[in-house]
Structure 1
Amino acid sequence: MTAADTSLHLVRAGIDTYSQPVVYMREDCHVCRAEGFAALTRIGVTLGPKSIIATLNVVTEAGWLPADAAALSEAAWALLQPRPGDRATFVHPEPPASDSAIRAKVYGQELTEADFTAIIGDITGRRLSELQMAAFVTACAGERLNIAETIRLTRAMQRAGETLDWGGAEVYDKHCVGGLPGNRTTPIVVAIVAAAGLMIPKTSSRAITSPAGTADTMEVMAPVALDIAALRRVVETEGGCVVWGGNLALSPADDLLIRIERPLDFDSDGQLVASVLSKKAAVGARRVLIDVPVGPTAKVRSPAAAASLAQRLAAVGEAVGLSIAVHVSDGTAPVGRGIGPALEARDVLAVLRRDTDAPADLRGRVLDLAGALLDLRPDAAAGIGRARAAALLDSGAAEAKFMAICAAQGGFREPSAARHRAVVTATAAGRLEAIDNRRIARIAKLAGAPGRKLAGVRLLARPGDLLRRGAPLFEIHAETPGELDYARSYAEAQADVFELRE
């Protein structure tokens, strides 16, 4: 080893840092001293023809890591794929090309298409740290992205990945902007629309700020981590799919940005529209229905906010070649009974199987959305889509199509149930007027959802019900006693999650 040597042996740390490459070095390591590396420094790592940018974590105890070695997180290990005995070199990298653009946005300047292209390129190239991405997400929050910037960001996100070509076929898609617990319409809508003979390749996200995303719920019943070749095979065979978009290269920056938005617990209209429509364009869709639930504790709080979002969706959709229809729905209370992946999956199956006790509100929303999508067909007679959707659901055709899609994605699994449960009851008598969407969702998350697939909340009362004191309101489901106690303690301190009027 020479004085100028900046190489170290590589070892596997066995630490999951999600998609963020991280390197671990001892503080007395000769490379740390020579290069002046400190904790959270961004460092360039080169192994043969492969190079990555990673974040440094400094190890202060000498026990587990030799001084002449660097440990790689799982993400860094997967990118470099070292062999036993390999040494990598470590240097200070050039600043990311998008540094100045992010700084400009922080100070309120309007960004050009080239700026957004540079930012998205650095995000997908893993050249930005989590702090830099958080700065970008925060600088774009609220109303800080105008419509022109939203169009530029959407195009940049789409260009960063692959766009599917379905040979000129009419491709349909739908999306809900979220904020409404239990609103798991997508798997049923996909089954109905595919059963009607239309093509609907649905890619979905995992939860950002909710107890379950569509991908989380669908994963309870069938594999969702398909690659593009498998997605294409499923859609060409069955007409539709419900898969996780994070495993595809369709809009690769989106999943990385979602990882930053999740702990921040917000997303803006501009970022929401760019996220949704870049994925719709990338999957090859042309006719897209957007569900916008509106309510005082939903993500979209007022009709005026819904109208503003619809205007942005339409403008950006037109710019990227999408025909957008917006469906404004009731967002005043959760949908169905289950909140959490497995509990929502049970509601989905109850509707598909036409069970007598299937949630009527979930069924009604499904028929509204599937009907609106069927009405988007160029040759459709106006207003008959809902009746067609009901016929496909009631005949069992939608259930059969859903099972066929699950089989094509890797096989159907019946949802199981959590072992640990606790019922929360009413502390007063009266009519149930409203349920706070955000706080009931928080209870489900404290119980372990969405990471714990069986965790969540099962609603036992609905707005409009007349309740006596001590009547059951909801049941908490958890996979461990500790998570059950944690969620129950919070729930018992939030007596007004369910608004009762005497």
Structure 2
Amino acid sequence: MPVIRRLPIDTHPENTAFLLRRGNGYSAEQFQALRKIRVTGTGCEILATLALVDDEAIIGAGEIGLGEQAFRRLGLPEGAEVAIAQARPPASLELVRRKIEGETLGEAEIAAIVADIAGHLYSPMEIAAFLVACAGFMSTPETLALTKAMVEVGNHLHWDSPLVVDKHCIGGIPGNRTSMIVVPIVAAHGLICPKTSSRAITSPCGTADVMEVLAEVDLGEDKLADVVARESAVLAWGGRVNLSPADDVLISVERPLRLDTFEQMVASIISKKVAAGSTHLVIDIPVGPTAKVRSQDDAVRLRKLFEYVARHMGLVTTIVFSDGSQPVGRGVGPVLEARDVMAVLRNEPDAPADLRDHALMLAGHVLDFDPAIEGGSGYARAAELLASGAALAKMEALISAQGRNPVKPVPGKHHYDVVAPASGRIAAIDCERIARIARSAGAPLDKGAGIDLLHKVGAPVRQGEALFRIHANSQTGLGFACELAAEASGYTIA
């Protein structure tokens, strides 16, 4: 029996095992058959994609190397003996084939697929086949079944309160970092708001990326619960507490394919909110020509799907349509967005007014869930908490409780101004293009990379005047972003 050797190779999201091509008692034909192998130890097992190694400096005879993901998921120490065998395809793959052929699957059938995906029994290619089949057609009952299954296979957080609130935006609008303003406002009022957020995959940053500029976000379940107990809220990365893990696997495949159907979106959002213990949720749906939702008809269809699934999952929702015609705030990228958030919380006179107003509107809807507040007065209460400094004090308390980042956030040291090609008035800003340029500069991994928007829609500009400034901490990242901006800046000047 081979023994485990941990290899410092990141094969996210797949489990990958490494075996020496010769000297392990297998023939070449058997190796070809063992495209995927089952690795079994005492009380645990994983399925892993097999990679063959010809260099004994990497892996030796009698050893099986495991990449970082496979080693962590197997849970055994280095040197432990394991058995390996050819892995049979999961039985639920036959259900995926039926979905590809256009069949509607039942709740138990979708649950079987999701359980195997969460158990890392599917390859990315097999996951992609399931996602594409669902993108072709997915009924409303199937969407509900997918949501239920994703909740069941993950961890569940529980809070000692009948009212646990949250807010979520469907994304797609650069700079729309309202959660980091809404959460401290709501917590300062006294409502419980355990906000777990994702990191960016294809966008310039997610809420977790921005909060990480200010504080620790990689919190275990005990630490997260302790912060909520002390401060009524948290702003943490959701991946650590294993909420709806099947969704994390699906996202890792669907985002590179740029698959973002309404059905997958609803199942993803609702499953994570239910798993996080939320009872009441405000959902922000920005609508605009370059947003995820581009027409009022689509917005209404998405709202109805959210309402149907949330109702059956026991989640009370308020759904808000907002302006998605241009980026929100001035900064796009972790450091720049953190700067805007803190400017709003500090009531600085030059803080982005659109970010402040949007956050207050959403915070008002969340506070309206409180039965102690007179109907419709949530906005006034949110404005009061922001103006008084109570929201800022709560944010500072959250930062301290989670663990303050000792590194002072500063924009990237390299920068370049993209200028107006002609005089006129800014007629439109392409959200998708601005996000791509910011990401090319290095955001979110380079925390200081991103874009400072110097003008917004409606502003007059002169030829040669700077429209926005690209920041990066590397000349390479700055060069990539400048090339993309030269092709098309995302600004339309009338």
Return the letter of the residue paired with 1:453.
K
1:92 maps to 2:95: no
Give me the whole-angstrom Cα distance separating, in 1, the residues matched to 2:251 and 2:187: 28
1:348 maps to 2:341: yes
Query: More displaced, 463-472 or 25-34?
Result: 25-34
Give me the whole-angstrom Cα distance separating, in 2, the residues matched to 1:32 and 1:269: 47
Q: CA deviation at 1:332?
A: 0.4
Deviation digits for residues 39-81 of structure 1 (CA, Å, limit 9, x no counterpart): 9811101223321100112235565333443321011122234
- Out of 291, 305, 310, the residue aligned to residue 284 of structure 2 is 291
Give me the whole-angstrom Cα distance separating, in 2, the residues matched to 1:73 and 1:440: 36
Counterpart contact for 1:25–1:32, Cα < 8 Å: no
Give me the whole-angstrom Cα distance separating, in 1, the residues matched to 2:78 and 2:276: 39
Q: Secondary structure at the match of 1:267?
A: coil
Counterpart contact for 2:34–2:86, Cα < 8 Å: no
Q: CA deviation at 1:458?
A: 1.1
Q: Secondary structure at the match of 1:289?
A: strand
In the alignment, which residue of structure 1 is the partner of 2:488? Answer: 494
Deviation digits for residues 251-303 of structure 1 (CA, Å, limit 9, x no counterpart): 12121222112211221111110110011111111111000000010011111
Return the letter of the residue paired with 1:431.
R
In the alignment, which residue of structure 2 is the partner of 1:131? Answer: 125
1:331 maps to 2:324: yes
Deviation digits for residues 216-242 of structure 1 (CA, Å, limit 9, x no counterpart): 111111111112222211111111111
Q: 1:317 to 1:33 in 2, by over 3 A?
A: same
Q: CA deviation at 1:489?
A: 1.0
Q: Secondary structure at the match of 1:36?
A: helix
Query: More displaced, 215-224 or 63-72?
Result: 63-72
In the alignment, which residue of structure 2 is the partner of 1:453? Answer: 447
Q: Secondary structure at the match of 1:424?
A: strand
Counterpart contact for 2:174–2:327, Cα < 8 Å: yes
In the alignment, which residue of structure 1 is the partner of 2:37? Answer: 43
1:208 maps to 2:201: yes
In the alignment, which residue of structure 2 is the partner of 1:3? Answer: none
Return the letter of the residue paired with 1:451.
L
Query: More displaced, 18-27 or 416-425?
Result: 18-27
Q: Secondary structure at the match of 2:256?
A: helix
In the alignment, which residue of structure 1 is the partner of 2:299? Answer: 306
In the alignment, which residue of structure 2 is the partner of 1:218? Answer: 211
In the alignment, which residue of structure 2 is the partner of 1:233? Answer: 226
In the alignment, which residue of structure 1 is the partner of 2:46? Answer: 52
Counterpart contact for 2:20–2:59, Cα < 8 Å: yes
Return the letter of the residue paired with 1:450.
P
For residues 160-239 of structure 1, what are the structure 2 equivalents within 5 Å?
160-239=153-232
- Out of 268, 278, 282, the residue aligned to residue 275 of structure 1 is 268
- Out of 374, 377, 393, the residue aligned to residue 381 of structure 1 is 374
Give me the whole-angstrom Cα distance separating, in 2, the residues matched to 1:395 and 1:168: 27
Q: 1:302 to 1:29 in 2, by over 3 A?
A: farther
Give me the whole-angstrom Cα distance separating, in 1, the residues matched to 2:433 and 2:213: 24
Return the letter of the residue paired with 2:19.
M
In the alignment, which residue of structure 2 is the partner of 1:478? Answer: 472
Question: What is the count of residue pairs matched by the alignment?
Answer: 493
Q: CA deviation at 1:192?
A: 0.4
Query: More displaced, 91-100 or 210-219?
Result: 91-100
In the alignment, which residue of structure 1 is the partner of 2:251? Answer: 258
Give me the whole-angstrom Cα distance separating, in 2, the residues matched to 1:418 and 1:37: 48
For residues 375-414 of structure 1, what are the structure 2 equivalents within 5 Å?
375-413=368-406, 414=408
1:358 maps to 2:360: no
**TM-score between both structures, scaled by the size of structure 1:** 0.94
In the alignment, which residue of structure 2 is the partner of 1:371? Answer: 364
Unaligned segments of structure 2, at least 5 residues: none
For residues 103-122 of structure 1, what are the structure 2 equivalents within 5 Å?
103-122=97-116
Q: CA deviation at 1:373?
A: 1.1
Query: More displaced, 106-115 or 185-194?
Result: 106-115
In the alignment, which residue of structure 1 is the partner of 2:146? Answer: 153
Return the letter of the residue paired with 1:58.
L
Q: How high is the sequence identity, in percent, across the aligned residues?
A: 47
Query: More displaced, 395-404 or 204-213?
Result: 204-213
Deviation digits for residues 414-446 of structure 1 (CA, Å, limit 9, x no counterpart): 422211111111111110011101111000111
Counterpart contact for 2:34–2:87, Cα < 8 Å: no
Counterpart contact for 1:222–1:406, Cα < 8 Å: yes
Give me the whole-angstrom Cα distance separating, in 1, the residues matched to 2:69 and 2:27: 25
Q: CA deviation at 1:210?
A: 1.1
Q: CA deviation at 1:29?
A: 4.7
Give me the whole-angstrom Cα distance separating, in 2, the residues matched to 1:32 and 1:258: 36
Give me the whole-angstrom Cα distance separating, in 1, the residues matched to 2:22 and 2:146: 43
Q: 1:66 to 1:288 in 2, by over 3 A?
A: same
Q: 1:292 to 1:305 in 2, by over 3 A?
A: same
In the alignment, which residue of structure 1 is the partner of 2:416? Answer: 422
Q: CA deviation at 1:359?
A: 0.5
1:102 maps to 2:87: no
Q: 1:467 to 1:165 in 2, by over 3 A?
A: same
Q: CA deviation at 1:126?
A: 1.4
Counterpart contact for 1:31–1:90, Cα < 8 Å: no
Return the letter of the residue paired with 2:59.
L
Give me the whole-angstrom Cα distance separating, in 1, the residues matched to 2:47 and 2:377: 54
In the alignment, which residue of structure 2 is the partner of 1:4? Answer: none
In the alignment, which residue of structure 1 is the partner of 2:308? Answer: 315
Q: Secondary structure at the match of 1:329?
A: strand
Q: Secondary structure at the match of 1:256?
A: helix
Give me the whole-angstrom Cα distance separating, in 1, the residues matched to 2:383 and 2:366: 13
Return the letter of the residue paired with 1:73.
G
Q: CA deviation at 1:140?
A: 1.7
Give me the whole-angstrom Cα distance separating, in 2, the residues matched to 1:478 and 1:107: 47
**TM-score between both structures, scaled by the size of structure 2:** 0.96
Return the letter of the residue paired with 1:213.
G
Alpha-carbon RMSD: 1.8
Give me the whole-angstrom Cα distance separating, in 2, the residues matched to 1:330 and 1:83: 52
Query: More displaced, 73-82 or 311-320?
Result: 73-82
Q: Secondary structure at the match of 1:15?
A: coil
Q: Secondary structure at the match of 1:195?
A: helix
Return the letter of the residue paired with 1:300.
V
Deviation digits for residues 288-324 of structure 1 (CA, Å, limit 9, x no counterpart): 1000000010011111111000000000000000111
Return the letter of the residue paired with 2:441.
A
Return the letter of the residue paired with 1:275.
S
Counterpart contact for 1:208–1:265, Cα < 8 Å: no
Q: CA deviation at 1:35?
A: 6.8
Counterpart contact for 1:294–1:306, Cα < 8 Å: yes
Deviation digits for residues 167-190 of structure 1 (CA, Å, limit 9, x no counterpart): 343111110001101100001100
Counterpart contact for 2:411–2:472, Cα < 8 Å: no
Deviation digits for residues 103-161 of structure 1 (CA, Å, limit 9, x no counterpart): 1222221111111211121122111112111222222226x222111111111111112
Q: Secondary structure at the match of 1:448?
A: coil
Counterpart contact for 1:21–1:76, Cα < 8 Å: yes
